[in-house]
Amino acid sequence: MTLRLDDNARSFEASFQSPSPLYRGAPFWSWNGELEKEELLRQLDVFREMGIGGVTIHPRTGLTTEYLGDTFMELVNACREHAHANDMLTWLYDEDRWPSGFAGGLVTKDKAYRQRHLLFTPTPYQGVTSACHNDSTAAGSRQENGTLLARYAIGITDGRLATYRRLGEEEAAHPGETVWYAYLEVDTDSTWFNNQSYVDTLNPAAVRRFIDVTHERYKATLGHAFGKDVPAIFTDEPQFTHKQNLPFAEGKKDAILPWTDALEADFTAQFGGSLLDHLPEVIWDLPAASPSLWRYRYHEWIAERFASSFADQIGSWCKTNNIALTGHMMEEPTLLSQCRALGEAMRSYRSMQIPGIDMLCDWMELTTAKQAQSAARQFGCPGVLSELYGVTGWHFDFHGHKRQGDWQAALGVLFRVHHLSWYSMRGEAKRDYPASISYQSPWYKEYRTIEDHFARVGATLSRGTAVCRVAVIHPIESFWLAFGPNDTSGDERERLENQFSNLTEWLLRGLIDFDFVAESLLPAQAHVTDSATFTVGRMPYEVVVVPGMRTIRSSTLAQLEAFADVGGRILFVGEIPSLVDAQASPRAILLAERCERVPFERSPMLLALAPHRDIRLQTSSGKSVDCLLYQMRQEGQHRSLFICNTNRELFLGAANGTLVITGEFKVSALDTSSGTSAPVAASYRHGTTLIPAEIPASGHLLLRLEPGQCTAGISLIPEPGIETGRLASP
């Protein structure tokens, strides 16, 4: 078969009744022991019995068969052939464990490709070599194996960088100054990385070597099936050395920054000035809270180099070879986490044919999912992938599986990679983040109930395009400016972080769908016409929100000015940017004077955006509910509407009221268990469709909307239970 990364070639009815295996789960199949062909094929049959649509082959702790060796690849091919014969898909994984890039040590045995970092310290080398960290993160640590790049004389006044200069080779500091040292260090051996190290993801040559070792190896064995029954290759938590800022501006702790050999030369060529000459501005805040252009440029350079070196190269290879790049970045959810490990999460999605996320511990990271969904919509991707259910334990029940999958489906997740399905329980494997979603769980034969549901949800929500009217400029670049010592920048980072989280929660739970717009991606995507529609890639928006930012790009501002010129609606929320490209400018303030402004508060923001809302639940008390999430799709004249209740209180968590949908529609309810549909009784008022509804906790509605009216049909309020008897008390 030739695979389509959507299911739209068939009619809606056929797709809903008999969904493609693409929308059934493809769990991480943990290859964690001595692999035997017969057992592997038996487990594939178990997955098929569970309603699973494919597997993601994932080497993990315990694997004794040589990674990427001949036997390993023969077994990969045998599993792919068996899966194909049973109408299942084989998804690939690009690493021995994680994070992706070191190829199980095959890349980083060459020290030229090992991760680097800059150690910024007041303590010169003492001749003591420290052990490298032995966990799966790329966090750097003092190694004392590096090269001295520069020395600085630093003067701190009231916690601010009052004076600094780069010292000559024999130059001494003046009285009252402190000498700091910048060393370029290389990661040493780590047991996690098979006694090698993580890769330098800021070095394009190192990533090219990773592709040669890993992707070309899979292509030699399975390339004929790429784009057929081998849809994608999963990359897991690529990152760079995590940025470590100072706890106290006047303290004597070390700071660590991501670095690569070519950084100084390439940075100087791009910006016309030496980063090493201005490095203290990256570390400390300037007097009077003045912005540092050099700090901004450093974070921008790192973010762009990481995305271009890793995701762009691998995504380009995948596109050329007819296989999708999917997976997820490291630490996507908060401004701080992505600043430390990625620079910016959304930038790498430009090269992922299926952007992905990671959702562990039954967390609900709305920001993580919304960033990926926004990029997927704007780039015209078929949907979002999620690695989910990890670290939920043996007690996590079907309500949990459904609830977690439902809210993510509302935020664009169509492809589910269950974490985790063990090949073996021997030794350490049995403690590898259970539960095992496979034959080791007593309910595995009943799991088809879950898979049938999500297969039909995915088949429905893959069709057409999203109905989303609101764009929000992503504030990550303002956060970069606040990445200084905790005691001088921490409060500002917390303020920006709270705004980012609150805006996401307020809009989504206020049933106003929106997309983030990454300023770094906008120049290649934006298009303003005289129709007062702000178009970003494939997505047209009616209103653009500028959410309490300190700086904005001149390229973004130019697009917003053009949008305002044709009558487009722009809403400034909270602080108006006083900086353009991190430099003082009144340009954004002048634009704001032509536009609408509201404070950064929930009620004024929701009221201002109410004209762009497509659905709401009108309760008998008049109070709004905050437990619903939704996604609406437009396909020709038809729409599909998925609503889920995220409430965990099974007996008291139902959402009751009248569902109000903008526009007049004949409504059908889609049953994800049986694949059938039924007309729904509705009424109509002032151009809206009204449907009495009750959505239980962990429940959902999946509706098909067709222009017109229909007042006869089933009710979306379940019949009340009838008491038939009571048990006597003991």
CA separation for the pair 493, 224 (Å, rounded): 49
Residue 341 has pLDDT above 60, yes or no: yes
Would 490 be classed as within a structural domain? Answer: yes
Residue 575 has pLDDT above 50, yes or no: yes
Tokens 């980063």, located at residue? 275
pLDDT, mean of residues 430-456: 96
| pLDDT tens profile 377-413 | 999 999 999 999 999 999 999 999 999 999 999 999 9
With beta carbons less than 8 A apart as the criterion, state whether 181 and 124 touch.
Answer: yes
What are 290's two structure tokens? 């003045």
What residues form DSSP beta bridges with 34?
Answer: none
| pLDDT tens profile 50-105 | 999 999 999 999 999 999 999 999 999 999 999 999 999 999 999 999 999 999 99
CA separation for the pair 500, 267 (Å, rounded): 30
Would 23 be classed as within a structural domain? Answer: yes
Would 296 be classed as within a structural domain? Answer: no
pLDDT at 722: 72
From residue 491, alpha-carbon distances to 292, 482, 495, 498, 534 in Å are 18, 9, 6, 11, 34
DSSP string, 497-554: HHHHHHHHHHHHHTT--EEEE-TTTGGGTEEE-TTS-EEETTEEESEEEEES-SEE-H
Distance of CA 634 to the CA centre of its chain: 24
Does residue 216 sit in the same domain as residue 251? no
| pLDDT tens profile 141-152 | 999 999 999 999
Residue 503 has pLDDT above 70, yes or no: yes
CA separation for the pair 207, 213 (Å, rounded): 10
DSSP string, 589-616: HHHHHTSEEE-S-HHHHHHHHGGG--EE
pLDDT at 127: 81
Q: State the helix-helix crossing angle for 37-49 and 70-85, rounded to 10 degrees.
A: 30
Would 729 be classed as within a structural domain? Answer: no
Does residue 232 sit in the same domain as residue 275? no
DSSP letter, residue 289: G
pLDDT at 270: 98
Does residue 581 sit in the same domain as residue 476? yes
| Cα angle for residues 528, 530, 534 (degrees, 5° grid) | 30
pTM: 0.96
**Dihedral sign (CA 497, 500, 504, 507):** positive
| pLDDT tens profile 593-647 | 999 999 999 999 999 999 999 999 999 988 889 999 999 999 999 999 999 999 9
SS3 of residue 729 by DSSP: coil
Would 714 be classed as within a structural domain? Answer: no
Does residue 145 sit in the same domain as residue 271? yes
Does residue 405 sit in the same domain as residue 318? yes
Pick from 306, 244, 159: nearest CA to 483: 244
* pLDDT band at 131; cut points 50, 70, 90: low
CA separation for the pair 41, 574 (Å, rounded): 58
pLDDT at 5: 67
Residue 501 has pLDDT above 80, yes or no: yes
For 218, phi then psi, to 5°, come to -65, -40
Would 3 be classed as within a structural domain? Answer: no
CA separation for the pair 112, 96 (Å, rounded): 20
**Dihedral sign (CA 452, 453, 458, 460):** positive
Pick from 440, 445, 380, 437: nearest CA to 404: 437
Does residue 117 sit in the same domain as residue 246? yes
DSSP letter, residue 203: -
Q: Which long-range contacts (CB under 8 A, 24 or more apart) does 602-610 make?
A: 602/502, 602/506, 602/510, 605/503, 605/506, 605/507, 605/573, 606/506, 606/507, 606/510, 606/512, 608/571, 609/470, 609/507, 609/512, 609/543, 609/545, 609/571, 610/512
* pLDDT band at 134; cut points 50, 70, 90: confident
From residue 239, alpha-carbon distances to 94, 99, 189, 353, 482 in Å are 15, 8, 18, 19, 21
**CB neighbourhood size of 71 (10 A):** 11
Contacts of 72 (CB under 8 A, 6+ apart): 35, 65, 66
pLDDT, mean of residues 703-716: 97
DSSP letter, residue 427: G
Of 546, 578, 611, the residue that ends a domain is 611
**CB neighbourhood size of 135 (10 A):** 9
Kindly provide the residue ranges of all beta strands, DSSP E only, lying in 115-254, ordered along the sequence: 116-121, 147-157, 160-166, 178-186, 232-236
Does residue 418 sit in the same domain as residue 532? no
pLDDT at 1: 42
| pLDDT tens profile 528-573 | 777 789 999 999 999 999 999 999 999 999 999 999 999 999 999 9
What are 148's two structure tokens? 């001295």
The per-residue pLDDT of the chain, averaged, comes to: 96
Kindly provide the residue ranges of all beta strands, DSSP E only, lying in 362-448, ordered along the sequence: 384-390, 413-418, 421-422
pLDDT at 720: 77
CA separation for the pair 68, 31 (Å, rounded): 12
Q: Which long-range contacts (CB under 8 A, 24 or more apart) does 187-192 make?
A: 187/114, 187/115, 187/116, 187/117, 187/132, 187/140, 187/143, 188/129, 188/131, 188/132, 188/143, 188/145, 189/132, 190/132, 190/133, 190/134, 191/134, 192/97, 192/134, 192/135, 192/136
Does residue 264 sit in the same domain as residue 313? no
Would 728 be classed as within a structural domain? Answer: no
CA separation for the pair 625, 617 (Å, rounded): 7
When divided into structural domains, the chain yields a total of 4
What are 392's two structure tokens? 């939920």
From residue 125, alpha-carbon distances to 119, 148, 182, 349 in Å are 11, 9, 11, 40
CA separation for the pair 76, 58 (Å, rounded): 11
| pLDDT tens profile 659-685 | 999 999 999 999 999 999 999 999 999
Q: Is 439 exposed, middle or buried (0-12, 13-18, 19+ CB in 10 A)?
A: middle
Does residue 182 sit in the same domain as residue 219? no
Q: Which long-range contacts (CB under 8 A, 24 or more apart) does 592-599 make?
A: 592/546, 594/564, 595/564, 595/569, 595/570, 595/571, 596/569, 596/570, 596/571, 596/572, 597/571, 597/572, 597/573, 598/571, 598/572, 598/573, 599/573, 599/574
Of 562, 578, 611, the residue that ends a domain is 611
pLDDT at 180: 98
**Residue count (the chain):** 730
Of 611, 640, 674, the residue that ends a domain is 611
Residue 730 has pLDDT above 90, yes or no: no
Does residue 100 sit in the same domain as residue 168? no
**CB neighbourhood size of 302 (10 A):** 25
Would 696 be classed as within a structural domain? Answer: yes
Q: Please report, rounded to a whole number, the percentage of residues in the chain having pLDDT higher than 70.
A: 98
* CATH code for the domain in which residue 379 is found: 3.20.20.80
Q: What is the residue type of 676?
A: T
* pLDDT band at 443; cut points 50, 70, 90: very high
What residues form DSSP beta bridges with 58?
Answer: 30
- Domain ranges, residue 166: 111-200+241-290
Tokens 């169509």, located at residue? 414
With beta carbons less than 8 A apart as the criterion, state whether 234 and 417 touch.
Answer: yes
Helix H or strand E encompassing 488: helix 486-509
**CB neighbourhood size of 22 (10 A):** 23
* pLDDT band at 153; cut points 50, 70, 90: very high
Between strands 579-580 and 583-584, the pairing is antiparallel
Does residue 254 sit in the same domain as residue 353? no
Pick from 189, 188, 207: nearest CA to 314: 207
Contacts of 549 (CB under 8 A, 6+ apart): 473, 475, 477, 478, 575, 577
Tokens 């921490």, located at residue? 490
Q: State the helix-helix crossing angle for 366-379 and 486-509, rounded to 10 degrees.
A: 70
pLDDT at 427: 87
| pLDDT tens profile 20-42 | 999 999 999 999 999 999 999 99
Does residue 562 sit in the same domain as residue 487? yes
